[in-house]
Structure 1
Amino acid sequence: MAVISKITVQKKNKSRYNLFLSRGRGEEYALSVDEDLLLKHGLKKGLELDEEKLIQLINEDEKKKAYFLAINFLSYRMRSVDEIRVYLRKKEKEEQHIDEVIKELLEKKLLDDQEFASSYVRSKQLTVLKGPMKLKQELIQKGVQESVIERALEQFTKSDQIEAMVKWLEKQNTTSAKKSNQALKEKLSIQLQSKGFSRDAIKEAVRQVDLENDKEEEWEAICFQGDKVKRKLEGKYPDWEFKQRVKQNLYRKGFPMDLIERYINSIDQLE
């Protein structure tokens, strides 16, 4: 049987106490405990502690440490249950203590994956351009269940998505003397797809924004692209095949056939 021979306050943390025990062979440091545990168990000098009690104190104190780590981690922003679990594992806390801490945090409403996911979606709507598919992917990486994510994404309606994309599209350099109207639309649409928006929503957003070059700008664009193709292919093919290859290249770049024919005719006139 061990007897508490001395209790001292830690210098760097005034809410923790060092316990020293005597087992008849002199005094030795045994463990440190939180102030709550000190009061809960009535720990004081002269109190006898058996091995079972010591193990209980150590176990409860380790759980306390895990709990305070989680609280500190939560102080910066909301977290998912899985984020807390991963964090405590990195801190090498025991699974039993992690489970107990998470249970306590859930009971105290300090952890709530549904609220976390909803808040995450709202925050991203206000700060960055990300579609529902991108947000879903990010929340899955944070360990949130798909059913919870789907409910959170209900607030991000299709009309909200379109409105966000329209604002983004209007800020882009929507006219270009170097690209066809179609190529510009495809480029911006691909960018929006990479941000996690659906094709249907993108199509509607693009429809609502004037992305068209005027006739003069479109002509400048085909001349720019056509001249690049000419320089690349000139002298490599007979005249008819050369023109067919130029046509095919410009068609792939999104130019309408009537404008392509006009460009080819302009080549003939120069010759």
Structure 2
Amino acid sequence: MSRTYKVTKVEAQKRPGRYNVYLNEKYAFPISEEVLIKFSIFKGTELTHEEIEQIKVADSISKLYGKAVDFISYRQRTEKEVRDKLKTLSEDEFAIDSTIKKLIEIRLIDDENYANSYVRQTADGQAKGPIEAKRYLMQKGVSETLILNALDEFYPASKVQENADRLAQKLFDHNNRYPYNKRIEKAKLSMVRKGFSFDVIDQAISQIDDVVDMDEQEIMLKKAGLKLWKKYRTEEPYKRKQKVKQALFRKGFDFDAIDEFVDEVEGV
């Protein structure tokens, strides 16, 4: 017959919702109010060794659950985020699994809702494409199926193109201190980083209002060209021209305009 231990005292801690349990007049273990009620622990209750161990496990889960709720309270979290956090707090895999299961059951963890919310936010924000949304959610541990479902429902192709068109124009206008070709290049690179596909980017670029001030472009070319012409003044004539042309082309100036400038400056 298993030995039993009598609860001789249940004492409230200073921390709300926590109690100290005494068995046979000696302090035995702390316990949460939730577990206290669940196991009906009060003065006079008799417990076996096996029951005491069950209570301790339940309390471990209860404490971990409380920390998980605190972690989630700041903002919505995925299952992976919560699991990773709990692993820093406990090595008890059973307690972690039990906590995660409970949080999923009451929908404090809901990866589907997380994916839907993030994709909606991304689509409404207009600054990121679906590739970036997928990358972010994959890092958060959301399954690919949930991600693709969210993208299909909340970030359709029409919305992707609409956002891309708007962003392409914004980026092109923002980079107006650069030559035309460089403005296009910078817009494309930025859009790739923001998660838009090449097909969508090409379509967006083709739609931008790309009217530029040709006089301003000429001034920019001459300013950059004269600086380079001076920089390579010690080079042989042919090499000097080639280096200036290559440098100006990398800066985004039109090749015909570059040839015209070099012919002009060479004749001075």
Q: TM-score, normalised by structure 1?
A: 0.87
Structure 1 match to 2:20 = 18
Q: How does 1:115-264 map to 2 (within 5 A)?
A: 115-127=113-125, 129-154=127-152, 155-172=154-171, 174=173, 179-238=178-237, 240-264=238-262
C-alpha distance 221-38 of structure 1, shift in aligned 2 (>3 A): same
CA contact (8 A) 1:176 1:221 kept: no
Structure 2 match to 1:3 = 6
More displaced 10-residue stretch of structure 1: 97-106 or 256-265: 256-265
Shift of 1:226: 1.3
More displaced 10-residue stretch of structure 1: 162-171 or 183-192: 162-171
Structure 2 match to 1:82 = 80
C-alpha distance 60-260 of structure 1, shift in aligned 2 (>3 A): same
C-alpha distance 178-58 of structure 1, shift in aligned 2 (>3 A): closer
3-state secondary structure, aligned to 1:150: helix
Please give the alpha-carbon distance, in whole angstroms, between the structure 2 residues aligned to 1:175 and 1:18: 65
C-alpha distance 140-42 of structure 1, shift in aligned 2 (>3 A): same
More displaced 10-residue stretch of structure 1: 221-230 or 241-250: 241-250
| Alignment-mate amino acid for residue 200 of structure 1 | D
Structure 1 match to 2:92 = 94
Instruction: List structure 1 segments (4+ residues) > 6 angstroms apart after TM superposition.
Output: none
C-alpha distance 54-177 of structure 1, shift in aligned 2 (>3 A): closer
CA contact (8 A) 2:78 2:109 kept: yes
C-alpha distance 90-166 of structure 1, shift in aligned 2 (>3 A): same
- 1:53 aligned to 2:56? no
Please give the alpha-carbon distance, in whole angstroms, between the structure 2 residues aligned to 1:231 and 1:163: 45
CA deviation string 1:217-249 (max 9, x = no partner)? 2211211221222122113112x4432332333
CA contact (8 A) 2:122 2:129 kept: no
Shift of 1:30: 0.9
More displaced 10-residue stretch of structure 1: 178-187 or 203-212: 203-212
3-state secondary structure, aligned to 2:173: coil
Shift of 1:173: 6.9
| Alignment-mate amino acid for residue 190 of structure 1 | L
**Count of aligned pairs between the two proteins:** 264
CA deviation string 1:10-66 (max 9, x = no partner)? 1121x22211111xxxx3211122223222322121222221111011011111112
RMSD between superposed Cα atoms in Å: 2.3
Shift of 1:96: 0.7
Match of 1:38 among 21, 36, 39: 36
The runs of 5 or more residues in structure 2 that have no matched partner are: none
CA contact (8 A) 1:250 1:260 kept: yes
The runs of 5 or more residues in structure 1 that have no matched partner are: none
C-alpha distance 177-135 of structure 1, shift in aligned 2 (>3 A): closer
| Alignment-mate amino acid for residue 215 of structure 1 | M
CA contact (8 A) 1:179 1:222 kept: no
